[in-house]
Amino acid sequence: MHHDLVQFIDSSVLVVKNYSVKKQYKILLPVNNSKGSNKAIEIAEQFAKANKLAVEIVTVLENKSSDDKLKKILERTEEKFSNAGIKNTATVLEGNVVKKIVENAGDDSIIMLGVSPKNPIMKYFFGSKPISIAAKCNCPVLVAK
């Protein structure tokens, strides 16, 4: 129920699960061509610099029509983090977005992703990928708005 309400808060939201101050975390940053993703990239860059964390940048291809555009976004993001002196890796995954991100998130991950661009009514009735990821992952998730 609380995950359903999180998507309507008008600011970035951090859902914290299984956080330990003793653990060394990395940021898992799924990127796409949305405004929310751009905001997540900004936040991840600041957070990685401030906390000296590595960033794993991923994009998930659900179909062939999105290949080139998403790969370019991935490359630009990787270059941005490298130029900022942030240790990073970039990976292209294929399949269902929620499933692939959940599979790639370890308990040492902090996932930072953008809010869904769906309208509020659609999110309420059908949910959203960021909220599904936050519900299914066993690690902290920041949904950037």
Q: For the segment 28-67, what is each residue's pLDDT rounded down to a tens digit?
A: 999 999 999 999 999 999 999 999 999 999 999 987 666 8
The pTM score is: 0.88
Give the pairing of strands 13-15 and 26-30: unpaired
**What is the domain count for the chain?**
1
At 44 the pLDDT is 98
pLDDT, tens digit, 9 for 90 and up, residues 80-106:
999 999 999 999 999 999 999 999 998
| CATH code of the domain containing 103 | 3.40.50.12370
Domain of 135? 2-144
